[in-house]
Amino acid sequence: MAALLLGKTHRNLLKSVPEGAPGLLVSLALFTCLLRCAECVKPSNMILIVTDDLDVELGGMYTATPLCCPSRSSILSGKYPHNHMVHNNSLSGNCSSKAWQTGPEMQAFPVYLSKMYYQTFYGGKYLNQYGINETGGVKHVPPGWDQWHVLVGNSQYYNYTLSVNGKAEVHKDNYEKDYLTDLILNRSLNFLDSQSPQHPFFIMLCPPAPHSPWTAAPAYQNNFTDVKAPRDGSFDKPGKDKHWLLRQPVNPMTNSSIDYLDNAFRKRWQTLLSVDDMVEKLVKKLEVMKELDNTFIFFTSDNGYHTGQFSLPIDKRQLYEFDIRLPLLVRGPGIKPNQTLQDPVVNIDLPVTILDIAGVNISTLDMDGQSFLPQLVPSFRNSTSRPDFLVEYTGEGHFTKDPDCPKLGPGVSQCFPDCVCEDAFNNTYACVRTFKDSNFQYCEFADDEAFVEVYNLTADPHQLENIVKKVDPALLEAMNQRLIKLQSCKGESCRQV
Ligand SMILES: *[C@@H]1O[C@H](CO)[C@@H](O)[C@H](O)[C@H]1NC(C)=O
Ligand SMILES: *[C@@H]1O[C@H](CO)[C@@H](O)[C@H](O)[C@H]1NC(C)=O
Ligand SMILES: *[C@@H]1O[C@H](CO)[C@@H](O)[C@H](O)[C@H]1NC(C)=O
Ligand SMILES: *[C@@H]1O[C@H](CO)[C@@H](O)[C@H](O)[C@H]1NC(C)=O
Ligand SMILES: *[C@@H]1O[C@H](CO)[C@@H](O)[C@H](O)[C@H]1NC(C)=O
Ligand SMILES: *[C@@H]1O[C@H](CO)[C@@H](O)[C@H](O)[C@H]1NC(C)=O
Ligand SMILES: *[C@@H]1O[C@H](CO)[C@@H](O)[C@H](O)[C@H]1NC(C)=O
Ligand SMILES: *[C@@H]1O[C@H](CO)[C@@H](O)[C@H](O)[C@H]1NC(C)=O
Ligand SMILES: *[C@@H]1O[C@H](CO)[C@@H](O)[C@H](O)[C@H]1NC(C)=O
Ligand SMILES: *[C@@H]1O[C@H](CO)[C@@H](O)[C@H](O)[C@H]1NC(C)=O
Ligand SMILES: *[C@@H]1O[C@H](CO)[C@@H](O)[C@H](O)[C@H]1NC(C)=O
Ligand SMILES: *[C@@H]1O[C@H](CO)[C@@H](O)[C@H](O)[C@H]1NC(C)=O
């Protein structure tokens, strides 16, 4: 787990509320907007920045699934994976598939924003399989987006194709013309210049950073040369009481694995410096436009990341906090500066919150998440903190042997460096993460051992000890029942205890 970097991002998002706009007044104004009163001139603008693979150590948000395509599908649809049916990063796992396009994508949050007269812009990575020819290629522009500058396929910094409002635009590797993080920022600034002032806007920016191949901008390629991944928490601790995949890694790790992950860690930070610039330039632009006081900015990620935890070199896809816990920074009208919300928030809550801000009647939505606007902005609506949430993950495995790792059998994947595998088809699990009476995580695997892991996060924040054999059987039974209920929940039933 890496500490969140992003100096400028912190400064720009956590700084003071806008001058002349004290919290209470703005929150009253916002409330008035929600009631759509005559004096409400225009609902708030919104910007949502979703980084790729950014972990967090501080408080933050959770993901209902620690992998790009399923998580991004949850952010768009407000649904748990068992309801949007996107289970992995492949087309066959429904990533940007026809089933997605004709189902959840038709009811994703931009569709409702557009009905509320928002002018919408999307820039950067969408879903890992977006733009392939089987599903309509670059011509497919999902409903609700007015401006669409979206990457074909998975995160790249150079040498990629964009769908620009349905037309292919091929990019090479000239920094000034092609660096994707900068390019989507520039396009969003152009979009802001073209705004008609009567309508609110919504911008979603999904930079490739800090995903591999970790290509930093030229100006940042020599930063952080002395930085190493932190050696704290579960770094290089054995995972001997955990599910079978965690019992495989060499412990302690080989020097080559450590060198590899330190290098990845440094390069991840280098790529984030361009994201820092993105946030700063957007905030400055909003200031010049005099829209900063009326704009919510959300900053988050699709999944977490690990560098050496339990001797796993680098990846995500695990049930532990380092992979499911994400950064979430929000600034906007009525939000007090520099406060930390204690209530848990999940990625499926983002679209509901966004639509709540836009003035949509959220109780009409077919979404599993809940709005955290009442927690962000003290309003007349009572807030209800979620008692728990569900994590669902379907493991990915290749059924041909990995030629680079002849000793490994089939069924595993992500076996680099040093043939340590980070995923397998039977790394398929579901967990309930509870907050109300206990700070617990309870997970069941669909593998040959029907393996169970249980953690008391209060006593053991780094999940070093699986207490399944020690914990009161009545508590295990209760968590098993809750898990079963959540795994088939839909809409309202996902929000009820
Ligand atoms: C893909 O989505 C469709 C429609 O929801 C569903 O019937 C199918 O089972 C899904 N496929 C997978 C692999 O989940
Ligand atoms: C889609 O088809 C076009 C035209 O045949 C081809 O140039 C392009 O490479 C294909 N794209 C993908 C992602 O396969
Ligand atoms: C981009 O593609 C060109 C041509 O294949 C290649 O020479 C170059 O190294 C690539 N650049 C990057 C940054 O990968
Ligand atoms: C973005 O805009 C800046 C400022 O105009 C320019 O220097 C830079 O080359 C642009 N980058 C891309 C990738 O468009
Ligand atoms: C990155 O490196 C440049 C050049 O050495 C330096 O000016 C800048 O302050 C560094 N930025 C950070 C955030 O360390
Ligand atoms: C691994 O690195 C440690 C610390 O730098 C060093 O003491 C040790 O000799 C190295 N081991 C090998 C096999 O190179
Ligand atoms: C935010 O709060 C922390 C801890 O309460 C404090 O150390 C820090 O100085 C504050 N930052 C700002 C910008 O007010
Ligand atoms: C929101 O929708 C619900 C369910 O359709 C309805 O009962 C309620 O009256 C609506 N609220 C408002 C403020 O329109
Ligand atoms: C908020 O909750 C309190 C206590 O449950 C209740 O008395 C009050 O009516 C609620 N207010 C609103 C606006 O729902
Ligand atoms: C993704 O899910 C589909 C459907 O279950 C499966 O056929 C495919 O092998 C999975 N992809 C990987 C890489 O595991
Ligand atoms: C999981 O699958 C791998 C690869 O087929 C196999 O070696 C392992 O024994 C399985 N483990 C369990 C617990 O099912
Ligand atoms: C979890 O750990 C805390 C701190 O050690 C302890 O007070 C609490 O009783 C534990 N909870 C359970 C249910 O064992």
Atom of ligand 3 nearest to the CA of 215: 13
Examine the pLDDT at 181 and tell me if it is beyond 50. Answer: yes
Band the pLDDT of 146: cuts 50, 70, 90.
very high
Q: By alpha-carbon position, which residue is closest to atom 1 of ligand 8? A: 361
Give the closest ligand to the alpha carbon of residue 102: 1
Ligand 4: lining residues by beta carbon, under 6 Å: 176-179, 182-183, 186
What is residue 235's DSSP assignment? B
Q: Which residue from 376, 362, 302, 372 is spatially nearest to 112, judged by alpha carbons?
A: 362
- Measured between alpha carbons, how far is 134 from 118 in angstroms, rounded to an integer? 31
Which helix (H) or strand (E) segment holds residue 295: the answer is strand 295-301
Instruction: Of 7-16, 227-236, 269-278, 397-406, give the lowest mean pLDDT range.
Output: 7-16
Query: pTM for the full model?
Result: 0.93
Q: Quick one: which atom of ligand 4 is closest to the CA of 178?
A: 13
Least confident of 40-44, 135-139, 217-221, 280-284: 40-44
Question: Which residue in 86, 60, 59 sits closest to 72, CA to CA?
Answer: 86
pLDDT (0 to 100) of residue 14: 54
What 3-state class would DSSP assign to 325? strand
CA dist 265 and 414 (Å) reads 17
Question: What is the distance between the alpha carbons of residues 188 and 179, in angstroms, rounded to a whole number?
Answer: 14
Ligand 2 pocket member 133 (CB < 6 A): yes
Q: Average pLDDT, whole number, for the chain?
A: 91
- Measuring from each residue's beta carbon to the nearest atom of ligand 3, which residues come in under 6 Å? 158-159, 173, 215
Q: Which of 85, 96, 101, 394 most suits a substitution to test ligand 1, by most atoms within 8 Å of the C-beta? A: 85
Ligand 10 centre and the CA of 425: distance in Å?
A: 8
Chain center to CA of 31? 28
At 195 the pLDDT is 86
Ligand nearest to the CA of 270: 5
Instruction: For ligand 10, atom 14, name the residue with the nearest CA.
Output: 396
Active site amino acids = 68
pLDDT class of 96 with cuts at 50, 70, 90: very high
Range of weakest confidence among 40-44, 190-194, 372-376: 40-44
Residue 40 CA to residue 17 CA, distance in Å, equals: 20
Instruction: Quick: pLDDT tens for 67-78.
Output: 999 999 999 999
Instruction: Among 434, 438, 456, name the best residue to mutate to test ligand 12's pocket (greatest count of ligand atoms within 8 A of Cβ).
Output: 456
Ligand 5 centroid vs 276 CA: distance in angstroms?
A: 12
Residue 53 phi, psi (nearest 5): 75, 25
Answer whether 14's CB lies under 8 Å from 280's CB: no
Average pLDDT over residues 244-268: 97
Going 141 to 273 to 193 to 14, the CA torsion angle's sign is positive
pLDDT at 350 over 60: yes
What is the predicted pLDDT for the residue at 18?
A: 33
Q: pLDDT at position 16, please? A: 36
- 30 and 296 Cβ atoms separated by less than 8 Å: no
pLDDT interval class at 28 (50, 70, 90): very low
Question: Would the CB of 475 count as within 6 Å of ligand 2?
Answer: no
Residue 355 is predicted with a pLDDT of 98
- Tens digit of pLDDT for each residue in 108-120? 999 999 999 999 9
Q: Is any atom of ligand 2 closer than 6 Å to the C-beta of 132?
A: yes
Q: Which 3 state secondary structure label does DSSP give 242? A: coil
Mean pLDDT of 157-180: 98
pLDDT surpassing 50 at residue 412: yes
* Predicted confidence (pLDDT) at residue 271 exceeds the cutoff of 60: yes
Over residues 12-18, mean pLDDT: 49
Phi, psi dihedral angles at 388 (to 5 degrees): -170, 175
Q: How far is the CA of 88 from the centre of ligand 10 (A)?
A: 7
* Ligand nearest to the CA of residue 337, numbered in listed order: 7
The rounded distance, in Å, linking the Cα atoms of 447 and 391 is 17
Q: Which atom of ligand 8 is nearest to the CA of 361?
A: 1
Per-residue confidence band for 479, with pLDDT thresholds at 50, 70 and 90: very high
State percent of the chain over pLDDT 70: 91
Residue count (the chain): 497
Q: For tokens 């900068």, what's the residue?
A: 182
Q: Whose CA is nearest to atom 1 of ligand 7?
A: 338
Q: Which helix (H) or strand (E) holds 65?
A: none
Residue-range domains of the chain with CATH: 42-381 (3.40.720.10)
- For a ligand 9 pocket test, name from 382, 384, 385 the mutation site with the most ligand atoms within 8 angstroms of its C-beta: 382
When pLDDT is cut at 50, 70 and 90, the band that residue 382 belongs to is confident
Residue 437: per-residue pLDDT? 85
Q: Label the pairing between strands 45-51 and 201-206.
A: parallel
Closest C-alpha residue for ligand 12 atom 5: 459
Residues having CB closer than 6 A to ligand 7 are 14, 338
State residue 7's pLDDT score. Answer: 62
Average pLDDT value for residue range 470-482: 97
- Average pLDDT over every residue of 307-317: 97
Percent of the chain whose predicted confidence (pLDDT) is above 90: 83
Is the separation of the CB atoms in 181 and 275 below 8 Å? Answer: yes
In whole angstroms, give the CA distance from residue 364 to residue 493: 14
Assign 19 to helix, strand or coil: coil
* Contact assessment for residue 341 and residue 372, using Cβ atoms and an 8 Å cutoff: yes
Q: What is the mean pLDDT of residues 148-153?
A: 98
